Amino acid sequence: MESAVVKATAAALKQSIYAHSSIEDVLLYEKWKKLPVVRHALREHKEIEELLAQAVSEGDPAVLNHAVRLALGHFAEEEKDVFPLLEQKISPDELASLGVQWMQLSGFKI
């Protein structure tokens, strides 16, 4: 893959993933950051962002590939481990409120 294509792809992914993770960090993870599974997720957010920034800078397809693999694994871990745990700790009313806030921060019209 050409360096310019890697850089453009990494930049697009970085923007998209940052938009997602920053909302997640503010709405969910900040409150629950004492939980080991949440601290792990926060570290992965940072690592993914750093790898994508490196891929944008260097245009290295191996770095981009590593970032994508880490992100896919991270998403699977969130669905399997993080979100079910938080659903046990968050009341239904608070969960509904978080859903509305998420949609608003994501730009959805309600």
Considering Cα of 20, then 87, then 37, then 39, what sign does the dihedral take? positive
- pLDDT value, residue 108: 73
The Cα–Cα gap between 3 and 62 comes to: 11
Domain boundaries, the chain: 3-106
Structure confidence by residue, pLDDT tens digits, 44-99? 999 999 999 999 999 999 999 999 999 999 999 999 999 999 989 999 999 899 88
pTM over 0.75: yes
